[in-house]
Amino acid sequence: MQIGSTKVGGSAPCFIIAEIAQAHDGSLGSAHAYIDAVAKTGVNAIKFQTHIASEESSPKDEFRVNIFPQDKTRYDYWKRMEFSEDQWRDLSNHAKEKGLIFLSSAFSNEAVRILNSIGMPAWKIASGEINNFPMIEEMAKSKKPFLISSGLSSMDEIDQTLKFIDKLGCESAVFQCTTSYPCPPEEIGLNLINEMKETFDRPIGLSDHSGTQYPALAAVALGVNLLEVHAVFSRDSFGPDTSSSLTIDELEDMVKGVRFIESMINSPINKDDQAESKKELKALFAKSLYAKSNLSIGHQVTKKDVAIKKPGIGIPANNFTNIIGKKLKKAILIDEPYTEDHF
């Protein structure tokens, strides 16, 4: 599949998304600052969340993490997170200028309309929206690919959504995701990466909320096609996802790690060819059989006549027993390596 002009899946490099979500805490300036910071890390995309309180929330909407003293209700919080269509367009354009693909999760049909109008190249479905078929159907009209998070779903529920998207004629990828903030190691679910690849036959990603680099690096070694990790300026930042996020410096380090691992995976080594190419270096480190004293022609070599020393330019040390008992056909000096010519 492709996200914009970037290939995803198969032998393509892992597609890395920095998830900002609500780390901007409703500040447009902060959202733009995140774009500038993330652009330096080497990720492919930056992702936000497009919330429109009146379109997605109701008075029954309860806080997941109630840490917002200025918001009496979760509706108030979503209202404070809103940006206008023009502001979303400015954020998208800023991301493009910095070489980033702009993504944002939609939580209502109005959000879909806004994100489609600004030319967002793919749809990111949050874990809680995987069964929102009316919204998915609205998204599919654009024929853009879908990126599906699965943090709250069974394999059957994921399969139902993917089949629905397939019928709508759109490509899709699935993220293994555990809705736990921060997510402990025993709940990451790396075992599901290969299971999902075999079951769903499409690009598979990991959306990680551990607040560490480890799951992402392990997932890449297992062949994951996409990664999504939360990012925040500092762990002292205010917000519900701070403990589940990487700092910008950690994000940059993770990206380097991902590309390092990919380079290793894509560079298979033939051990015999490698040994042949290192022959000169091997001679410096390997050991050979050396004379412990000056020995004359006709001398029958004993164990007491042999030292094992560097460099490895004579008979290799593993041939030690082969020269014991043999007679010299030419003299050898102390600290001279034994060679086949001596016998």
DSSP code string of 19-55: EEETTTTT-HHHHHHHHHHHHTTT-SEEEEEE--HHH
DSSP label at residue 312:
-
Q: Roughly what angle, to the nearest 10 degrees, separates helices 85-97 and 28-39?
A: 20
Q: How many of the other CB atoms lie within 10 Å of CB of 200?
A: 18
Q: Are 193 and 222 in contact (CB under 8 A)?
A: yes
User: Among residues 333, 337, 338, 335, which one has the least CA distance to residue 323?
Assistant: 338
Residue 93 · residue 32 · CB < 8 Å: no
Q: What is the CATH number of domain 2-265?
A: 3.20.20.70
CB atoms within 10 A of CB 140: 19
CA atoms of 130 and 157, how far apart (whole Å)? 8
Residue tagged 């060819």 (tokens) = 273
H-helix or E-strand containing 150?
none
- Which residue ranges in the chain fall short of pLDDT 70? 64-66
Q: What is the pLDDT of residue 66?
A: 67
Question: Could you please report the per-residue DSSP string of 160-174?
Answer: HHHHHHHHTT--EEE
Q: Is 327 in contact with 343 (CB distance < 8 Å)? A: yes
The pLDDT assigned to 316 comes to: 96
Which one-letter DSSP state was computed for residue 270?
-
Q: Give me the amino acid identity at 110.
A: E
Reported as type and span, the H/E element at residue 149 is strand 146-149
β-bridge partners, 290: 307, 337
Q: Could you tell me which residues are beta bridge partners of residue 10?
A: none
pLDDT digits (tens, 9 = 90+) for 183-212: 999 999 999 999 999 999 999 999 999 999
How much is the pLDDT for 246?
97
Model confidence pLDDT, tens digit, residues 57-72:
887 777 766 677 788 8
Q: What's the confidence (pLDDT) of residue 59?
A: 74
Beta strands at 288-291 and 246-247: parallel, antiparallel or unpaired: unpaired
> What pLDDT score does 69 carry?
79
- Every domain of the chain and the residues it spans: 2-265, 271-342
The pLDDT score that the predictor gives to residue 173 is 98
CA dihedral over 308, 314, 319, 325, signed as positive or negative: negative
- Which residue's entry shows tokens 């006549």? 305
Question: What are the φ/ψ torsions at residue 37 (nearest 5 degrees)?
Answer: -70, -45
Topology annotation, domain 271-342: Type Iii Antifreeze Protein Isoform Hplc 12 (3.90.1210)
Instruction: Classify 274 as helix, strand or coil.
Output: helix
